[in-house]
């Protein structure tokens, strides 16, 4: 191992549930990456470590971070193709493509997420009902694997490994660069409309109804107490066709610094949600919004996460058939009354795509819940795991650090096929993370 490129460091998952002391390396040349990989038995890739669950590290693996590989390698404006290194961040990609009125629309909610991280987790953005997940934009990948060396992956070359790598949580090797097909974006400004709703049934109706213009629809719902459960606001963002592309302002460094004492609890949440709802109800139903606010909703609002304190939180993201949502919510509310979890966020949106392997993707409704990390929330969440099995719900392993092996294999019908193909490709299973070990992938 090259002592100049590797060191020990403490690392913690974004939700703060798992921490570890790991060996970490940040190669700056392809040759260094080859050497470091050659000299390590177990490896895992890490981007900005913004996954809620511990996907980019493990006590026994060397974490390779390729943030120094952040160049734009090729841009073909006519064919709308761009090839970028995987350490580039989303905001760096957009700062270039938006100047040409182009983008990829499947953008997860924080600007410093890396291309490698977004592709390996098959991320999606607010527009996932229309645009699906990032898989739809990926045309090719250059992968480095300790044993197989350099591999070009696409629908025409090494197709099986291409398919395993997108959403393969870094287990097939190191993504070095990605070729994306870009879409036109006439304007980087949005119009946001909002509407009050009393319950989840009304939310579902609005989310699923046909819209005359393509919009990103998502909701904010109360789940801080039983009486107001589900009451909320539906937001619709659509591109402001009367506007044009505006320059993106410079991005600050991550501002995630958990407070020493947590501020989210049942009382503070009740007050915060009451005022959030009232302010939204009283303010204009239609307003103009800038690109960063719409696409990266948590940028500038990092205190939401900081308020969980050092103990952190858990996020659960669930994909459910629209026909099953009402029954699921009824049972969820019954459990809520009994176990009294502390839920800080509840949101709904629609998603499109086909579920395969480990990918969080389907033609289903997507529900998101954030919980304060305490005993009651954990007891409640394990009961919801049973509902996942009952209602054929897909829980996200990118978001939920807690999912156990049993729930995972029951809900991810193709997980075993993924595992078999991965072992066929790499019988020593070189690339391993905390999550892949726990789920025995």
Ligand X SMILES: Cc1cc2nc3c(=O)[nH]c(=O)nc-3n(C[C@H](O)[C@H](O)[C@H](O)COP(=O)(O)OP(=O)(O)OC[C@H]3O[C@@H](n4cnc5c(N)ncnc54)[C@H](O)[C@@H]3O)c2cc1C
Contact between 150 and 411 under an 8 Å Cβ cutoff? The reply is: no
**179 binds ligand X per the rule CB under 6 A:** no
**66 binds ligand X per the rule CB under 6 A:** yes
For the record, the structure tokens of 184 come out as 């036109």
Distance in Å, CB of 96 to ligand X, minimum: 18
Considering only 174, 215, 219, 344, the residue that binds ligand X (CB under 6 A) is 174
Considering only 298, 339, 391, 409, the residue that binds ligand X (CB under 6 A) is 298
**351 binds ligand X per the rule CB under 6 A:** no
The distance from CA 64 to its chain's CA centroid, rounded to whole angstroms, is 20
Applying CB under 6 A, the site for ligand X has a residue count of 33
Considering only 23, 42, 47, 351, the residue that binds ligand X (CB under 6 A) is 47
**391 binds ligand X per the rule CB under 6 A:** no
Which part of the chain contacts ligand X (CB under 6 A), choosing from 25-33, 110-118, 200-208, 346-354? 110-118
CB of 174 or CB of 273, closer to ligand X = 174
Distance in Å, CB of 39 to ligand X, minimum: 18
CB of 40 or CB of 336, closer to ligand X = 40
CB of 108 or CB of 395, closer to ligand X = 108
Considering only 91, 398, 403, 411, the residue that binds ligand X (CB under 6 A) is 398
The number of beta carbons lying within 10 Å of the beta carbon of residue 70 is 16
CA dist., res. 349 & res. 329, Å (int) = 15
Which part of the chain contacts ligand X (CB under 6 A), choosing from 74-82, 166-174, 270-278, 414-422? 166-174
Which part of the chain contacts ligand X (CB under 6 A), choosing from 26-34, 111-119, 225-233, 334-342? 111-119
**358 binds ligand X per the rule CB under 6 A:** no
CB of 17 or CB of 114, closer to ligand X = 114
* Site track 69-108 with ligand X (rule: CB under 6 A), x = hit: -----------------x---------------------x
Q: Which residues inside 113-132 make contact with ligand X, applying CB under 6 A? A: 113-114, 116-118, 120-121, 123-125
* Site track 228-267 with ligand X (rule: CB under 6 A), x = hit: ----------------------------------------
Distance in Å, CB of 333 to ligand X, minimum: 26
Q: Is 181 exposed, middle or buried (0-12, 13-18, 19+ CB in 10 A)?
A: middle
Q: Which residues inside 3-42 make contact with ligand X, applying CB under 6 A? A: 14
**138 binds ligand X per the rule CB under 6 A:** no
CB of 16 or CB of 204, closer to ligand X = 16
Q: Residue 144 forms beta bridges with which residues?
A: 150, 174
CB of 6 or CB of 48, closer to ligand X = 48
N residues, the chain: 441
CB of 48 or CB of 229, closer to ligand X = 48
What's the number of CA atoms in the CB half-sphere (13 Å) around residue 162? 18
SS3 assignment for the chain: CCCCCEEEEEEECCCCCCEEEEEEECCCCHHHHHHHHHCCCCEEEECCCCCCCCCCCCCCCEEEECCCCCCEEEEECCCCEEEEECCCEHHHHHHHHHHHCEECCCCCCCCCCEHHHHHHCCCECCCHHHHCEHHHHEEEEEEEECCCEEEEECCCCCHHHHHHHCCCCCCCCEEEEEEEECEECCCCEEEEEEEEECCHHHHHHHHHCCCCCCCEEEEEECCCCCCCCCCEEEEEEEECCCCCCCCCCCCCCCCCCCCCCCCCCHHHHHHHHHHHHHHHHHCCCEEEEEHHHHHCCCCCCCHHHHCCCCCCEEEEEEEECHHHHHHHHHHHHHHHHHHCCCEEEEEEEECCCCCCCCCCCCCCEEEEEEEECCHHHHHHHHHHHHHHHHCCCEECCCCCCCCCHHHHHHHCCCHHHHHHHHHHHCCCCCECCHHHHHCCC
CB of 14 or CB of 357, closer to ligand X = 14
Distance in Å, CB of 326 to ligand X, minimum: 25
CB of 229 or CB of 345, closer to ligand X = 345
Considering only 23, 43, 55, 358, the residue that binds ligand X (CB under 6 A) is 55
Binding site for ligand X (CB under 6 A): 14, 44-51, 55-56, 66, 86, 108-110, 113-114, 116-118, 120-121, 123-125, 169-170, 174-175, 298, 398, 433
């Amino acid at each position: 191992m090259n002592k100049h490129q590797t060191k020990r460091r403490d690392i913690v998952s974004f939700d703060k549930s798992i921490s570890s002391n790991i060996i970490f390396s940040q190669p700056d040349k392809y040759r260094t990456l080859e050497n470091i990989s050659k000299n390590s038995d177990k490896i895992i890739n890490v981007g900005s470590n913004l996954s809620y669950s511990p996907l980019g590290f493990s006590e026994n693996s060397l974490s390779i971070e390729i943030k120094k590989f952040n160049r734009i390698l090729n841009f073909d404006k006519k064919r709308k193709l761009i090839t970028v290194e995987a350490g580039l961040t989303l905001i760096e990609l957009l700062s270039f493509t938006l100047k040409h009125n182009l983008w990829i629309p499947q953008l997860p909610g924080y600007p410093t997420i890396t291309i490698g991280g977004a592709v390996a987790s098959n991320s999606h953005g607010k527009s996932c009902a229309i645009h699906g997940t990032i898989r739809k934009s990926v045309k090719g990948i250059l992968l480095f694997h300790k044993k197989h060396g350099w591999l070009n992956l696409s629908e025409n070359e090494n197709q099986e490994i291409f398919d395993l790598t997108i959403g393969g949580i870094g287990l097939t090797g190191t993504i070095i660069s990605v070729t994306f097909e870009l879409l036109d974006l006439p304007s980087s400004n949005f119009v946001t409309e909002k509407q009050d709703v009393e319950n989840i049934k009304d939310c579902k109706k609005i989310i699923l109804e046909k819209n005359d213009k393509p919009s990103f629809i998502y909701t904010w719902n109360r789940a801080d107490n039983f009486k107001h459960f589900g009451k909320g606001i539906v937001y619709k963002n659509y591109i402001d066709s009367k506007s044009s592309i505006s320059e993106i302002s410079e991005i600050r460094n991550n501002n995630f610094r958990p407070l020493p004492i947590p501020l989210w609890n049942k009382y503070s949440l009740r007050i915060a949600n009451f005022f959030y709802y009232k302010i939204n109800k009283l303010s204009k139903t239609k307003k103009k919004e800038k690109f960063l606010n719409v696409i990266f909703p948590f940028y500038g609002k990092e205190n939401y996460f900081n308020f969980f304190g050092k103990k952190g939180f858990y996020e659960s993201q669930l994909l459910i058939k629209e026909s099953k949502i009402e029954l699921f919510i009824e049972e969820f509310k019954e459990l809520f009354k009994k176990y009294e979890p502390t839920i800080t966020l509840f949101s709904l949106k629609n998603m499109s795509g086909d579920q395969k392997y480990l990918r969080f993707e389907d033609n289903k409704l997507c529900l998101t819940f954030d919980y304060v990390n305490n005993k009651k929330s954990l007891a409640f969440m394990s009961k919801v795991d049973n509902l996942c099995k009952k209602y054929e719900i897909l829980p996200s392993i990118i978001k939920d650090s807690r999912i156990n092996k049993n729930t995972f294999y029951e809900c991810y019908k193709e997980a075993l096929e993924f595992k078999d193909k991965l072992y066929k490709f790499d019988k020593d299973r070189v690339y391993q993370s905390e999550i892949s070990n726990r789920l025995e992938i």
